[in-house]
Amino acid sequence: METLKGKTAVVTGSSRSIGRGIAERLAARGALVAVHYATNATAAQDVVEAIGKAGGRAFAFGTELGHEGDAERFWAEFDVQRRAFSDDGDTGVDILVNNAAVALRDHFQDATVADFDRMVAVNIRAPFFIVQHALDRLRDGGRVINISSAVTRLGLPEVIAYGATKGALDSFSRILAKELGSRGITVNVVAPGYVDTDSNADWLRHDKDAWEETAAKSVFGRVGEPEDIGDAVAFLASDAGRWITGQHIDASGGTRM
């Protein structure tokens, strides 16, 4: 299964939940994984240690996204920690997964400028400039995989601003696929649906009725797991995904089909 051996992957927001699932799957397939976190260094180190115990290779680096100059700081810190991990001097990247996001629940009439601006800054501005600042280090034949959301097609009023930022990410990804195609770099979107994550714990894990109702929205009758998304990303990151680009991959388990 070491289909990514010799590759370096960067996964934003991978200290927990879906990001962790992606990081662990990429590492299991042989990639060296850079586990990015915003503020929780301990959680990121837990991921690194779990990957190591499973026979993989990973290191952590931290940068809080959503602020002026975040992309520059992101890659500067990546370089520091990559060189600390190995003195081979290689700071190139083969796989870049933009997973970090802020999902604030605001109905249209209650949405605030502060919430809107925060989600725009993290969910679309940060990925845009992280990729831009990675152009010189992203190797030809590489992969950019942006994590969107099924909310862009479900039309949920309580996440209208969040959905708008993910819709922007979808559009950015399609255009970026044309921009980078001449270098053999694929750009795709993976859109999860309802997934059992830390952020959903309060209303999902501890409420049997909510769990059963959510599970019923998928044609498989279950709630998604971070590993489900990790496997979809790992496929696109592998050589098997070389002829797929500019696509929106629904990874929602057939939610509300």
Contact status, residue 102 vs residue 118, Cβ threshold 8 Å: yes
3-class secondary structure, 158: coil
Domains and CATH numbers, the chain: 8-198+225-250 (3.40.50.720)
3-class secondary structure, 240: helix
Contact status, residue 71 vs residue 124, Cβ threshold 8 Å: no
CA 90 from centroid of its chain's CA atoms: 23
d(CA 120, CA 61): 23
CB atoms within 10 A of CB 48: 22
d(CA 80, CA 86): 10
In terms of C-beta density within 10 A (0-12 exposed, 13-18 middle, 19 or more buried), how is residue 254 classed? Answer: exposed
Residue from 162, 172, 194, 211 carrying the catalytic annotation: 162
> Could you confirm whether 194 is annotated as catalytic?
no
Look at 169 and 87; give whichever has higher pLDDT: 169
Exposure string (b/e) for 7-26, b if CB count within 10 Å is 16 or more?
Answer: bbbbbbbbbbbbbbbbbbbb
Helix or strand run (H / E) with residue 194? none
Tell me: pLDDT of 200 over 90: no
CA distances from 98 to 18, 57, 65, 257 (A): 11, 20, 11, 26
Among the residue ranges 53-57, 113-117, 205-209, the one predicted with the least confidence is 205-209
Tell me: pLDDT of 4 over 70: yes
> The pTM is what?
0.95
d(CA 118, CA 133): 21
**pLDDT given for residue 202 in this prediction:** 65
